C-alpha cells in the first residue's frame, strides 16, 4: 500500500509540473514613474534614454523626467495621431512613426524637433499605398522598407518619399514579382541580402513564408515541404496551417529558423531539414492552436525568449527544446505583472524589457537573475522535529547538476534544479530489508560510488541505487552511529563510513567493517567531548578536523588517537566561541566561520587570524564557504555573499539587491556539482549560481546634463555653445543656479548616487545621494567649475562632468563705482555750497529791496519749497539705496548654501524677511567634530532689526571662532553679556531693552549627540513621526525684568533619520486663514510631523507653500526663519 501511494504521488507531481514555470526577478518601471499609461513599442538612443510609443503619442524618459510629443490640431509640426502602431530608428538616428488609426507615416528628428509627414496620394504614381503600416526595416545596404497591412511591401526613399510598391494582385496568377500576401508581418534579412517574409493570412490560397531578392525583385516560396518529409502527417498539417499566419522570424547561432506564429512556435533545422512545433503544453500533438507566439529575442545564456499574447513568456533552450514559462504570480511581487506580452526588447546593457498589457515595463536584469533560488516549500518536505528544526531538511547532498538529495521525515526527496521540480520521492523502508525503518527518520547520509550510507532513528544501513535493497549495519562492539563523518568527501574512499556514537555519556568514533557488515569501535574519548556533525574534513597530513559543539573544534590524529581541542576556554586557544562552520579547501587551507566573521587557521601552528577587515566587511555571521574551480572563494554571510579573489586579493560584497532572495543563509556545507555550479542552503531554500558566468560589470556609467536654471530662467541646453556663453557671464545677482542630470542607466540592481563639488568655492566632494538635482544658492562672485559624478550599483564611478560658470563682481565693488561715488559726493558738496551762497545772496537782496520784499517773498517761498522737495526726494532715494546696500551686507554675513550643505548634507533654510533687511538671521560654524548652527530673532524688524542681526552675528563669530567656545549654554551666557555691554544696558527704567531670542544647536557628529540651549525659542526633534520639544529658557539675550540666570544645556542622543527643526516666532504668529487668526505653535508642530517623511527639499517647499497660503492677502507680520536638518 505504501508503494502504491508513493507511485501515485510521484505521477501526480509529474502531471502538475507538465508545464515548467520559471520565476526570474523583474524590476517594474511603473506607469507612475514614466508618466504614461500604456506603451506599445520602444527603443533606446545613444545616451540611454528610453523612447516609447504610448497613449500620449511619443515619449522620452531619461530615468527622472518624461517629455512627450502629442498630436496638436493647431500645430502642423506635431505627430498625426496619438494612436501609434510602431516607432523605428534608422541608421541616421531619425525616428519613423506609423499609426494605428491614420494612413501615412512620419519622420521625426528629435534634435531639431522637426516632423515630416508622408501621406498616401492617389494622384501620384509612386505614393504610399492606402494601407496601415505594420513596421519599418532598413537592410544592410541602407535601403528602407515598409511592411504593411493590405498594402504589400514598399521600398521607400527616405529623402524624396518616392515609393516602389510590391502588391499582390489576387485576381491574377502570381508572376514571381509579387508577395504572396499583402499582409506582411515577419521579416528577416539573410547574410546574402535575401529577405524572408512572413504573412498574416490574406486572400491568397497559400501564405507560407517566402523569400524576396531585393536586387532581382523576385519572390519565391520557402521550401517548407522539404522540412516536413520526415514529420508526422498530423504534425505536418499543423505546421503548414501555422505557417500561414507568421508574426516574426529568428535565426539562432547555428543558423536554424524559429518562426513565431499565431498558432505556436515552429523550429526548422536547416542542417537536418526537419521541422517541429515547440511548446511546453502537454498533448501538443493533438492541438492545432498552441501559444500565440510573437517577438523572439536571445538572452545572455543563449535561451530564446518568445512573447505570447496571453500566456506570458516562453523561454526555450535551443539545444534541448525544453520550454519554461515566465508568468504572473500574484504571490510574488517581483514576478511578471501581466501575461499579455506586447514587446520584448534588449537594451545596450543586456537587460530585457518586457512591455505588458498592464501598461508598465518589467525589466529582466541578467546580473540579478544569475542567482537561482529553489524554495523548500515547493519540494514537499516534512519536518522530522518541528519544535527543534528551522527548515524541513535533515541533510542535503548535491550529487550532480540534475540531482539534489534531501533527507527529511519521510525518507528522501530528489530535486532537479534544471527543471525546478521534484523528480523522485522514496523512503528506504519501502525497499526490501528496510522493514526495521518503519516510521523512522532519515538523518545523515553519504554517497560512495553507487552506494548510499545512511543513519536513522532506528538503524544504520546502506543500499545501492541499482537494486534498492537495504543492508542493515549491525553494532558489533559499538553503539549505533548517530552521525556520519566525511559525508561530502566522496573523493576519499579510504574514509568511507565513520560514525559518531555515544557510550556511557562519552563520544565514540566507529568505523564500518565491510567484511562483517558491522560497526567497530575506532576510538572512545575519555573526556566529556561532545562531537557534532556540522563539518568533518581529512587534512593532507591525515589528521581530522571535527566539530566539538558550537564553541570549539578538534584536530584529531587517527594514527596516534591524540586530539587537540581549540576554543576560548580550551587548552589550545581559539578566540571565538560562536563557531558556525569550518571549511578546508583543496590546498589544505582551513577557514573557521563564526557569528563574528571569518578566521584563517593553521592547524600545524595553532595560529588564527580574523579576516573581516581584510575583506572589508563588518563583524557578523559567516555561515558557509567554498572555492570554485577558478580559485575564487565564495562566503555566505548573513544575507549577503562575499566573493574573494585570493590571487589578486580583491573582495566584493554581493548584497540582496543583486537578487539574493534567501531570507538568511544557514550554517551549512556549500557544495558544487560536476559543472561547477554552487549550491548554498538558506532559511528559505537553496541558492544556486554558476561562478563561471558571474561577472561584475566594469563599464563606467555615463553622465549627461538635462537642465540648467538661473533664477527663474531656464537655459536651452540643446544649444551647447549658447548656454556655455551664458554661464560664462552671469551677473552678480544671478547667483542662484539649479542643474539636473541623468545617466545612460535606466535599469540597475540599485539606484545610482550623485556627488558634486564647486571648484573655486570648496574642493571637497558632497554626497548628494540619490538626487539628480543640484541647487547652488547665494554663490559669491568669482570663476567656478561645477564637477559632478555618479556611482552605479557596482561602485563604479563615471567620468567627471564639468560645467564652468562665472559670476561677475557686483558693481559696488568695481573701481569705477568708487570713482563715481567720490565724484558724486564732490558734486553734492558743490551743490550745497552753491545753495548756501544763493540763500545768502537772496537775503542781501531782501535787505536792499525791502520795498519789493513782500511781493518777492511769495515767489521765493514757492521756489524754496520746490527746492526742498527735490532735496527730500534725493535724500529719500539715498536712504532707500543705503537700506538695499545694508540688505546685501546682511546677506553676505549669512552662511552660504554650499558651506552649510558640506556640514549638513540634508537641510533646508526657509528665510523670509518682512522688510528689505531682516531682524531674523541664521548662523553656522564647523569646528572639528562640532557642527554649530542657530536661528536668531532680534528685537524689531527692518533697519533696527538689521543692526541687531549684524551685532548678533558678529558677537557669535567672536565667541566661537576667536574665543573657541563651542558649548551652547556658555555661548549664550557670553552672548548676553556682550550684548548688554554693546547696547550699554543698565536695566534702568526708560532705557532700551533691545535684545534677541535664539535657538542654538551643536551636533557632535562622531557621537551622534545633540547639544542645545535656547533663549525663548525651543528646538523640535521629529523621530518616527513623533515630535520632541527641547524647551528654551524663558529669558532673552539682553536686559530683562528679573535676575539673569545661566542658560540651560540640553543633551540628547540622536538616531539616524531624526529631523531637527528651529524657527523664529514669525511663522506661528502670522495672521491669516479664513478667519484672520494666528497660525499658532500647535499647528506648526503638527505641520512638522506631517512633512517629516518627505525629502528635505520637499519639506522646504511645503513649509513655504503653507506659509504663503495661510498669509493670503494679509500683511506679513514679522520676519520668518525656519531651519530643518535631517540626521
Q: Does residue 321 lie within any of the structural domains?
A: no
Distance CA 275, CA 258 (A): 10
pLDDT in tens, 923-966: 999 988 899 999 999 987 777 778 888 888 889 999 998 888 99
**Predicted pLDDT of residue 477:** 56
Give per-residue pLDDT as tens, 776-815: 999 999 999 999 999 998 889 999 999 999 999 988 877 7
Q: How many residues does the chain have?
A: 1127
699 three-state secondary structure: coil
Q: Which residues pair with 754 in a beta bridge?
A: 769, 790
Read off the C-alpha cell for 386: 518541528
Q: Assign 434 a pLDDT band (cuts: 50, 70, 90).
A: low
Three-class SS state of 600: strand
Is residue 1084 assigned to a domain? Answer: yes
What is the tally of helices (H) and strands (E) in the chain?
A: 14, 78
Lookup: cell for 828: 553734492
What pLDDT score was predicted for residue 167? 95
User: Is there a contact between 581 and 667 (Cβ–Cβ < 8 Å)?
Assistant: yes
Instruction: Classify residue 679: in a domain, yes or no.
Output: no
Report the domain count for the chain.
Answer: 4
* Contact yes or no for 628/615 (Cβ under 8 A): no
Cα separation of 706 and 790, whole Å? 14
Between strands 572-573 and 562-567, the pairing is parallel
Instruction: Quote the DSSP letter at residue 942.
Output: H
Could you report the per-residue pLDDT of 365-404, keeping only the tens digit for each? 998 888 988 999 889 888 877 778 889 998 999 999 999 9
pLDDT tens, position by position, 829-877: 888 888 888 888 888 888 777 756 665 565 667 677 667 777 767 776 7
Q: Which domain holds residue 1022?
A: 894-1126
Higher pLDDT, 274 or 876: 274
Over residues 729-754, the mean pLDDT reads: 93
Residue at a domain's end among 788, 809, 830: 809
Nearest to 740 by CA among 786, 782, 781: 786
Q: What is the mean pLDDT of residues 176-198?
A: 96
Residues 551-608 have pLDDT tens digits of 999 999 999 999 999 999 999 999 999 999 999 988 899 999 999 999 999 999 999 9
Q: Residues 955, 1023: one domain? A: yes
Residue 1080 within a domain:
yes
The verdict on residue 408 lying in a domain is no
Instruction: Quote the CA–CA distance of 164 and 148 in Å, as a whole number.
Output: 13
Cell 540688505 -> residue: 887
What confidence tier does 438 reach under pLDDT thresholds 50, 70, 90? low
CB 168 within 8 A of CB 152: yes
Same domain, 1120 and 1042: yes
pLDDT of 498 higher than 80? no
Q: Could you tell me which of 463, 462, 466, 501 has the C-alpha nearest to residue 480?
A: 501
Mean pLDDT of the 745-771 span: 93
What 3-state DSSP class applies to 223? Answer: coil
Shared-domain flag, residues 817 and 804:
no
1078 and 946 belong to one structural domain: yes
DSSP label at 485? S
Is the pLDDT confidence value at 12 over 50? no
Write down the pLDDT at residue 342.
94
**pTM of whole model > 0.85?**
no
Q: How many other CB atoms are found less than 10 A from the CB of residue 644? A: 22
Whether residues 1056 and 977 share a domain: the answer is yes
- For residues 1023 and 1117, membership in a common domain is answered with yes
- Same domain? For 747 and 728 the reply is yes
CATH number, residue 744: 2.60.40.10
The pLDDT-based confidence of 741 (bands split at 50, 70, 90) is: very high
CA-to-CA separations, 585 to 498, 580, 634, in angstroms, rounded? 21, 17, 12
| Strands in 9-104 per DSSP E | 20-21, 26-29, 39-44, 50-54, 57-61, 66-69, 84-89, 95-99
Q: Lowest mean pLDDT: which of 146-160, 838-852, 1100-1114? A: 838-852
Q: Report the distance separating Cα 1124 and Cα 226, nearest Å.
A: 77
Sheet with 624-627, side-by-side order of all strands: 624-627, 632-636, 641-645, 650-654
**Whether residue 926 is found in the same domain as residue 1060:** yes
User: Is pLDDT at 3 greater than 50 in this prediction?
Assistant: no
Choosing from 222, 238, 267, the residue where a domain stops is 222
Least confident stretch, 160-174, 224-238, 482-496, 697-711: 482-496
Render 650-695 in DSSP notation, one character per residue: EEEEE-GGGT---SSB-S---EE-TT--EEEEBSSEEEEE-TTT--
Q: Above pLDDT 70, what percent of the chain?
A: 92
Q: Which conformational region is residue 700 in: left (phi greater than 0), alpha (psi within -120 to 50 degrees), or beta?
A: beta
| High-pLDDT (> 90) share of the chain, % | 58
Please report whether residue 584 resides in a domain.
Answer: no
Tell me, yes or no, whether 1012 and 998 share the same domain: yes
Q: Do 880 and 1001 fall within a single domain?
A: no
First to last CA, the chain: 67
pLDDT confidence of 2, banded at 50, 70, 90?
very low
Which stretches of 167-316 are assigned E, i.e. beta strand?
184-189, 195-199, 210-213, 218-221, 246-251, 257-261, 264-269, 274-278, 293-298, 304-308, 313-316
Task: Give, in order, the Cα–Cα distances in Å from 1108 to each of 278, 1100, 1104, 1111, 1112.
Answer: 66, 13, 6, 5, 6
50-57: average pLDDT: 93
C-alpha cell at 354: 518586457
Q: Do residues 1041 and 1104 share a domain? A: yes
Looking at residue 857, its pLDDT comes to 65
Upper half-sphere CA count for residue 242 (Cβ side, 13 Å) = 30
Tell me what pLDDT residue 896 has: 84
CATH number of the domain residue 938 falls in: 3.60.40.10
For 1066-1105, b where at least 16 C-beta lie within 10 A, e where not — what string? bbbebbbeeeeeebebebbbebbeebbeeebeebbeebee
Residue 1020 lies in a domain: yes
At 1001, is the secondary structure helix, strand, or coil? strand
Q: Maximum Cα–Cα distance for the chain, whole Å?
A: 158
pLDDT at 1: 33
> Which of the listed residues 888, 921, 944 is the one where a domain comes to its end?
888
- Classify residue 825 by its DSSP letter: H
How many angstroms separate the CA atoms of 861 and 842, rounded? 11
Residue 282 in domain: no
Please indicate, yes or no, whether residues 974 and 1042 belong to a single structural domain of this protein. yes
Nine cell digits for residue 1057:
533619520
Residues 6+ apart with CB under 8 A from 287: 281
Q: Give the pLDDT confidence of 886-911 residue by residue, as tens digits.
A: 677 778 788 888 888 888 999 999 99
Amino acid at each position: 500500500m505504501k508503494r502504491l501511494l508513493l507511485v501515485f504521488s510521484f505521477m501526480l507531481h509529474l502531471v502538475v509540473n507538465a508545464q515548467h514555470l520559471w520565476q526570474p526577478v523583474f524590476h517594474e518601471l511603473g506607469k507612475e514613474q514614466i508618466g504614461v499609461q500604456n506603451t506599445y513599442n520602444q527603443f533606446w538612443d545613444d545616451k540611454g534614454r528610453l523612447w516609447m510609443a504610448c497613449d500620449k503619442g511619443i515619449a522620452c524618459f531619461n530615468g527622472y523626467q518624461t517629455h512627450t510629443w502629442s498630436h496638436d490640431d493647431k500645430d502642423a509640426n506635431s505627430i498625426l495621431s496619438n494612436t501609434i502602431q510602431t516607432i523605428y530608428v534608422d541608421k541616421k538616428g531619425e525616428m519613423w512613426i506609423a499609426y494605428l488609426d491614420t494612413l501615412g507615416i512620419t519622420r521625426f528628428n528629435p534634435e531639431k524637433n522637426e516632423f515630416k509627414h508622408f501621406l498616401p496620394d492617389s494622384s501620384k504614381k509612386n505614393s504610399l499605398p492606402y494601407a496601415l503600416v505594420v513596421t519599418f526595416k532598413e537592410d544592410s545596404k541602407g535601403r528602407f522598407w515598409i511592411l504593411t497591412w493590405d498594402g504589400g511591401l514598399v521600398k521607400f526613399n527616405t529623402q524624396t518619399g518616392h515609393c516602389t510598391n510590391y502588391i499582390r494582385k489576387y485576381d491574377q496568377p502570381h508572376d514571381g514579382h509579387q508577395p504572396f500576401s499583402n499582409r506582411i508581418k515577419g521579416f528577416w534579412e539573410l547574410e546574402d541580402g535575401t529577405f524572408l517574409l512572413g504573412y498574416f493570412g490574406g486572400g491568397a490560397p497559400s501564405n507560407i513564408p517566402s523569400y524576396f531578392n531585393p536586387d532581382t525583385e523576385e519572390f519565391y516560396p520557402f521550401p517548407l515541404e522539404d522540412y516536413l518529409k520526415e514529420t508526422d502527417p498530423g504534425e505536418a498539417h499543423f505546421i503548414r496551417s501555422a505557417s500561414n499566419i507568421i508574426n516574426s522570424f529568428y535565426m539562432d547561432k547555428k543558423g536554424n529558423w524559429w518562426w513565431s506564429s499565431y498558432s505556436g512556435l515552429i523550429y526548422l533545422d536547416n542542417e537536418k531539414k526537419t521541422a517541429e512545433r515547440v511548446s511546453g503544453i502537454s498533448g501538443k500533438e493533438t492541438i492545432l492552436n498552441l501559444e500565440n507566439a510573437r517577438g523572439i529575442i536571445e538572452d545572455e545564456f543563449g535561451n530564446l525568449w518568445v512573447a505570447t499574447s496571453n500566456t506570458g513568456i516562453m523561454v526555450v533552450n535551443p539545444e534541448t527544446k525544453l520550454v519554461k514559462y515566465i508568468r504572473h504570480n500574484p504571490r510574488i511581487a517581483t514576478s511578471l505583472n501581466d501575461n499579455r506580452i506586447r514587446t520584448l526588447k534588449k537594451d545596450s546593457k543586456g537587460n530585457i524589457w518586457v512591455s505588458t498589457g498592464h501598461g508598465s515595463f518589467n525589466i529582466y536584469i541578467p546580473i540579478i537573475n544569475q542567482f537561482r533560488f529553489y524554495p523548500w516549500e515547493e519540494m514537499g518536505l516534512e519536518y522530522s522535529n518541528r519544535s527543534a528544526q528551522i527548515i524541513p531538511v535533515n541533510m542535503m547532498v548535491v550529487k550532480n547538476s540534475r540531482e539534489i538529495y534531501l533527507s527529511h521525515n519521510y525518507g528522501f526527496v530528489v530535486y532537479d534544479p534544471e527543471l525546478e521540480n521534484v523528480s523522485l520521492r522514496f523512503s528506504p523502508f519501502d525497499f526490501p530489508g528496510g522493514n526495521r525503518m518503519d516510521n523512522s527518520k532519515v538523518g545523515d547520509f553519504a554517497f560512495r560510488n553507487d552506494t548510499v550510507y545512511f543513519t536513522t532513528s532506528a538503524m544504520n544501513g546502506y543500499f545501492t541505487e541499482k537494486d534498492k535493497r537495504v543492508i542493515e549495519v549491525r553494532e558489533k562492539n559499538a553503539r549505533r552511529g548517530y552521525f556520519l563523518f566525511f559525508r561530502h568527501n566522496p573523493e576519499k574512499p579510504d574514509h568511507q563510513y565513520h560514525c559518531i556514537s555515544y557510550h556511557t555519556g562519552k563520544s565514540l568514533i566507529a568505523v564500518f567493517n565491510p567484511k562483517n557488515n558491522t560497526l567497530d569501535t575506532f576510538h572512545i574519548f575519555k573526556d566529556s567531548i561532545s562531537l557534532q556533525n556540522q563539518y568533518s574534513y581529512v587534512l593532507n597530513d591525515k589528521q581530522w578536523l571535527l566539530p566539538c559543539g558550537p564553541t570549539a573544534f578538534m584536530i584529531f590524529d587517527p594514527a596516534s588517537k591524540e586530539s587537540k581541542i581549540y576554543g576560548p576556554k580550551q587548552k589550545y586557544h581559539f578566540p571565538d566561541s560562536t563557531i558556525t562552520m569550518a571549511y578546508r579547501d583543496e590546498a589544505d587551507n582551513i577557514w573557521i566561520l563564526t557569528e563574528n566573521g571569518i578566521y584563517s587557521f593553521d592547524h600545524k601552528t595553532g595560529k588564527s587570524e580574523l579576516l573581516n577587515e581584510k575583506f572589508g566587511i563588518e563583524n557578523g555571521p559567516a555561515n558557509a564557504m567554498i572555492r570554485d574551480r577558478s580559485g575564487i572563494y565564495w562566503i555566505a554571510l548573513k544575507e549577503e555573499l562575499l566573493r574573494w579573489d585570493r590571487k589578486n586579493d580583491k573582495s566584493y560584497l554581493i548584497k540582496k539587491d543583486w537578487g539574493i532572495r534567501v531570507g538568511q543563509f544557514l550554517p551549512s556545507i556549500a557544495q558544487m556539482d560536476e559543472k561547477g555550479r554552487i549550491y548554498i542552503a538558506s532559511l528559505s531554500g537553496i541558492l544556486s549560481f554558476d561562478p563561471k558566468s558571474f561577472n561584475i560589470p566594469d563599464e563606467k556609467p555615463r553622465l549627461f546634463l538635462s537642465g540648467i536654471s538661473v533664477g527663474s530662467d531656464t537655459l536651452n541646453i540643446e544649444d551647447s555653445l549658447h548656454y556655455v556663453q551664458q554661464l560664462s557671464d552671469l551677473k552678480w545677482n544671478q547667483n542662484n543656479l539649479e542643474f539636473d542630470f541623468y545617466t545612460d542607466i535606466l535599469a540597475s540592481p540599485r539606484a545610482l548616487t550623485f556627488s558634486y563639488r564647486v571648484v573655486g568655492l570648496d574642493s571637497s566632494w558632497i554626497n548628494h545621494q540619490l538626487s539628480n538635482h543640484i541647487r547652488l544658492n547665494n554663490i559669491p562672485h568669482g570663476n567656478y567649475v561645477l564637477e559632478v559624478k555618479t556611482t552605479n550599483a557596482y561602485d563604479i564611478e563615471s567620468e567627471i562632468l564639468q560645467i564652468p560658470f562665472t559670476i561677475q563682481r557686483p558693481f559696488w565693488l568695481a573701481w569705477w563705482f568708487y570713482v563715481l561715488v567720490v565724484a558724486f559726493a564732490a558734486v553734492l558738496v558743490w551743490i550745497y555750497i552753491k545753495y548756501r551762497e544763493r540763500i545768502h545772496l537772496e537775503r542781501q537782496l531782501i535787505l536792499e529791496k525791502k520795498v519789493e520784499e513782500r511781493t518777492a517773498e511769495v515767489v521765493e517761498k514757492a521756489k524754496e519749497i520746490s527746492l526742498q522737495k527735490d532735496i527730500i526726494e534725493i535724500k529719500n532715494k539715498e536712504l532707500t539705496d543705503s537700506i538695499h546696500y545694508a540688505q546685501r551686507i546682511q546677506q553676505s554675513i549669512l552662511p552660504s548654501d554650499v558651506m552649510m550643505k558640506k556640514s549638513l548634507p540634508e537641510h533646508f533654510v526657509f528665510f523670509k524677511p518682512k522688510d528689505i533687511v531682516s531682524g531674523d538671521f541664521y548662523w553656522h560654524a564647523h569646528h572639528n567634530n562640532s557642527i554649530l548652527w542657530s536661528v536668531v530673532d532680534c528685537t524689531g524688524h527692518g533697519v533696527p532689526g538689521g543692526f541687531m542681526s549684524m551685532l548678533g552675528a558678529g558677537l557669535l563669530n567672536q565667541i566661537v571662532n576667536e574665543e573657541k567656545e563651542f558649548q551652547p549654554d556658555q555661548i549664550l551666557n557670553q552672548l548676553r553679556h556682550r550684548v548688554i555691554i554693546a547696547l550699554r544696558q543698565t536695566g534702568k527704567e526708560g532705557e532700551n531693552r533691545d535684545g534677541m531670542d535664539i535657538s542654538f544647536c551643536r551636533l557632535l557628529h562622531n557621537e551622534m549627540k545633540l547639544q542645545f540651549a535656547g533663549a525663548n525659542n525651543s528646538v523640535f526633534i521629529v523621530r518616527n513621526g513623533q515630535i520632541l520639544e527641547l524647551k528654551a529658557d524663558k529669558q532673552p539675550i539682553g536686559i530683562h525684568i528679573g535676575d539673569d540666570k545661566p542658560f540651560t544645556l540640553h543633551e540628547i542622543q540622536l538616531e539616524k533619520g531624526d529631523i531637527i527643526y528651529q524657527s523664529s516666532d514669525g511663522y506661528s504668529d502670522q495672521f491669516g486663514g479664513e478667519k484672520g487668526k494666528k497660525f499658532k505653535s500647535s499647528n506648526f508642530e503638527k505641520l512638522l510631523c506631517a512633512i517629516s517623511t518627505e525629502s528635505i527639499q520637499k519639506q522646504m517647499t511645503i513649509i513655504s507653500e503653507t506659509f504663503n497660503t495661510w498669509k493670503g492677502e494679509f500683511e506679513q507680520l514679522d520676519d520668518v526663519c525656519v531651519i530643518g536638518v535631517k540626521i
